[in-house]
Structure 1
Amino acid sequence: MLTREIAKTIVLETSLRLNRNINIMDEKGIIIASGDTSRIDDIHEGALEVLKSGKTLIIHPNEKGVWRGAQPGINLPILFQDRIVGVIGITGNPEDIKELGGIVKMTTELMIKEKFIASQLEWKQRTKEMIIEELLKGSPSYSNIERGLNLIGLNLKSPFITHIIQLTERNIMNQSLTDKMEGIIGEKHGLVGFISINRMFVAFLGLTQQEADKKLRSIYLELKKLRLKFRLAYSTPFQSMSKFNQSYIDCDLALKITDVEEDLISFAEVEAKALIYKIDRAWGERFSNRIMNKTLNKFADTLEAYFKNNLNIQKTADDLYLHRNTLIYRLNKIEEETGYDPKVFKDALTIQLALWTDKKLKSEEFIK
């Protein structure tokens, strides 16, 4: 656990604060970090004594040369999880530095503990992201997934809900954001990890619909609180691990086919539109060419607002800053020139499908 990298960090930070030379010795008594680089890799006999006895060793000026590789100062055991993992030495007159010994020892042990915790979290997060990567494959290896789950002590309990958080601007580290998401969901009910630089994957595990809705709301509010620029899409609930790949595709498509200003998107709410993006191109062109004309293209924005407001004329007029009569005139004009009455559900559905198909063809976003 006491690596040369950690030892070097400890020496740099403590030497600067104390203006004293600090030496770190490993479990074999070898100096692995020192303010005096010429001493690195030397055997420190004083450290060997500390490792053997488990007690602090004070070397007085008149004892210089008694312990090979050692100079006057104080040498203290470094403990981690009730085991001596090394020795820290402070060079100088023991009378001048004896009060510093305990502080330096405590600081060193805390730094080692922090480094250990950080490395454990990093290892655990890498394992989670390996599991996520496997789950999102078309043909996942369930043995690899099970092996990873056993390592981190997690059980993938259904039902599952997949979420994609697409980030465009942020000022928070990946691990910090991951920790916040897991804190909201609960470690046993969530699988969280980054799958690309600005895309986070979040899976809910074994939650009721009511619990899932509540936690989704909490996640959304936390992202807003952090002032992140994001878009969040989530799938419909599913029961089988084999469906993670499709649920991810659904979320990805939901992000593509919705307005960039929408920051919370339910795939269930755009599923009908998503079907258009899955149809054969030739069929889509045939349908679009038959229905679309200059009038529908001209009034496309009006129709989209009208459909978004569930065929409510007054709400649509308000959204478009139009007089109610102006909107009614446009709707009547559409009926006259196309034969489809937007005020009638069957005709409105046909027009909506045509608008979606036309938009899909123009954007060239085809899902095979």
Structure 2
Amino acid sequence: MRFLNQSLAQEIVNRTMKIIKRNINVMNEKGVIIGSGDKKRIDSIHEGAVRVIETQSGFEISGSEAETLQGVKAGINLPINFHEKVVGVIGITGDPDEIRNYGELVKMAAEMILQQAVLIDEMQWDERLKEELTSQLLHRAGNLDSLYFERVKRLGINLDIPRVAIILKVQNQSQGYKWIRDKLEKDDLYVMDHDHIVLLKKVVMSQTEWDYSKTLNQMEKWAVGLGNYQETYCKIAVGTCHPALEGLSESYQEAVYTLNVGEKLDPHKTIYFYEDYKLPIFLARANQLGIGEEIGPYFQKLKQHDKKGELLETLAVFIEENGDVNKVAGRLFIHRNTLRYRLVRIAELTNKDPRKIKDLLELYLSILQNQIK
């Protein structure tokens, strides 16, 4: 495996040259200069580095010796070790007697920079792998095989912890993630989607039940924090907590539907919980399956004969006020007789009497169905 590349080699050069104010060269495992304070020397073979690689030890070059070797100047060349192997060479240009005391310092600095870079790369790789494993939980792409669980174990993911799916939709996703990342707990999992962030959030259980209020409280704080941080909108949709591993996918689907339906029915809200939108989500799923039309086109019939929108407004308020005619008439600023006339007119047009509970339910479903399309 190659640990040193041009970008990292040049970073080593730049950082060490700030310390000792001498030209630095970094060579790869073949002795090719891949980083240097002298850009003209990059991509040339450094014969002194080749000797270091062959002997696995340092090599000093005096001014007179430099004249007999190819692509070198006077200086000191030392091996860069990683995992007890020579993965490259670092060279300091100058009289060996003058720079010898810098040698081990520069070598140590180079190895520390390399170790740090490899560690960061491994952490980033682990994060990408964790995202992929989380995505498989969300989408249940095929059966989870033994390799999946081996990777989960290696990354220290505990799949027995209760979690709920949460979708965060923010105007600036990368900035939103930076803010969210500092708020995540150790056992929280996430996936960056193209227009939102999906979390599998660890939740608090009260005996065997999900403590819904604590999650709501936390999301309210996040909504305020994100709004203050970005000074833009954010939307948060929360599924429900299911006991089995397979339930994580269902929780995610609930959150997806909740966000879609919530934004249409309550665009002014920031937080949407699945529990508050079960009925419209049921209709959305029915529409997706192609069976939503069985509810009946009552909304369309009313709209066709309701040019001023009075009947639809009356029906909406009648539903919101649970059929209390006094409250409905008061909200609409109309006489009770006018309200009675409108209700009769709705019944004539739809063959569904809103004063009857079963008929009112069908009318309500028809209105909901239109709102979520």
Which bracket does the TM-score occupy, shorter chain normalised?
0.7 to 0.9
Q: Does 1:240 align with 2:250?
A: no
Q: Tell me, which stretches of 5 or more residues in structure 1 are unaligned?
A: 364-368
Q: Within 1, Cα distance between the matches of 2:75 and 2:309? A: 86
Q: Give CA deviations for 1:271-322 in whole Å, capped at 9, x if unaligned.
A: 11211223313303355467777559546467657867888999x99xxxx9
Match of 2:292 in 1: 281
Match of 1:203 in 2: 200
Match of 1:192 in 2: 190
Match of 2:149 in 1: 146
Question: Does the aligned pair in 1 maintain the 2:75–2:92 contact within 8 Å?
Answer: yes
Q: Residue 45 of structure 2: SS of its match in structure 1?
A: coil
**1:88-127 pair list within 5 angstroms:** 88-93=90-95, 105=107, 108-127=110-129
**1:40-79 pair list within 5 angstroms:** 40=43, 42-45=45-48, 48-49=51-52, 59-65=61-67, 69-78=71-80
Q: Within 1, Cα distance between the matches of 2:268 and 2:8? A: 49
Q: Within 1, Cα distance between the matches of 2:228 and 2:50? A: 51
Match of 1:359 among 343, 346, 371: 371
Match of 1:25 among 24, 27, 33: 27
Match of 2:343 in 1: 335
Q: Residue 184 of structure 1: SS of its match in structure 2?
A: coil
- How big is the shift at 1:142? 1.0
Question: Does the aligned pair in 2 maintain the 1:90–1:101 contact within 8 Å?
Answer: yes
Coordinate RMSD, CA, aligned: 4.4
Question: Does the aligned pair in 2 maintain the 1:24–1:86 contact within 8 Å?
Answer: yes
TM, length-normalised to structure 2: 0.72
Q: Residue 236 of structure 1: SS of its match in structure 2?
A: coil
**1:156-175 pair list within 5 angstroms:** 156-170=159-173, 172=175
Q: Within 2, Cα distance between the matches of 1:293 and 1:299? A: 11
Q: Does 1:250 align with 2:254?
A: yes
Give the direction of change, closer, same or farther, for the CA distance of 1:43–1:288 in structure 2 (3 Å limit).
same
Q: Give CA deviations for 1:222-260 in whole Å, capped at 9, x if unaligned.
A: 433431543221101112222333322222221222234
Give the direction of change, closer, same or farther, for the CA distance of 1:169–1:82 in structure 2 (3 Å limit).
same
Amino acid at match of 1:151: R
Question: Does the aligned pair in 1 maintain the 2:164–2:238 contact within 8 Å?
Answer: yes
**1:130-141 pair list within 5 angstroms:** 130-137=132-139, 140-141=142-143
Give the direction of change, closer, same or farther, for the CA distance of 1:153–1:72 in structure 2 (3 Å limit).
same
Q: Within 1, Cα distance between the matches of 2:53 and 2:325? A: 85
Q: Within 2, Cα distance between the matches of 1:306 and 1:13? A: 73
Match of 1:366 in 2: none
Amino acid at match of 1:2: F
Give the direction of change, closer, same or farther, for the CA distance of 1:170–1:237 in structure 2 (3 Å limit).
closer
Amino acid at match of 1:275: F
Give the direction of change, closer, same or farther, for the CA distance of 1:270–1:109 in structure 2 (3 Å limit).
same
Amino acid at match of 2:4: T
Question: Does the aligned pair in 2 maintain the 1:182–1:190 contact within 8 Å?
Answer: no
Q: Residue 169 of structure 2: SS of its match in structure 1?
A: strand
Q: Give CA deviations for 1:29-88 in whole Å, capped at 9, x if unaligned.
A: 553434355563525435744885766x65443443477653213434545567654332
Q: Does 1:5 align with 2:6?
A: yes
Q: Give CA deviations for 1:148-205 in whole Å, capped at 9, x if unaligned.
A: 31332212124331112223334528xxx2x654542322x211121x3222211024
Give the direction of change, closer, same or farther, for the CA distance of 1:299–1:22 in structure 2 (3 Å limit).
farther
Q: Within 1, Cα distance between the matches of 2:311 and 2:97? A: 89
Amino acid at match of 2:282: L
Q: Within 2, Cα distance between the matches of 1:331 and 1:138? A: 52
Q: Within 2, Cα distance between the matches of 1:302 and 1:201? A: 40
Give the direction of change, closer, same or farther, for the CA distance of 1:122–1:155 in structure 2 (3 Å limit).
same
Amino acid at match of 1:284: I
Q: Tell me, which stretches of 5 or more residues in structure 2 are unaligned?
A: none
Q: Within 2, Cα distance between the matches of 1:148 and 1:65? A: 54
Amino acid at match of 1:243: G
Q: Within 2, Cα distance between the matches of 1:255 and 1:270? A: 10
Q: Number of residues paired by the alignment?
A: 349
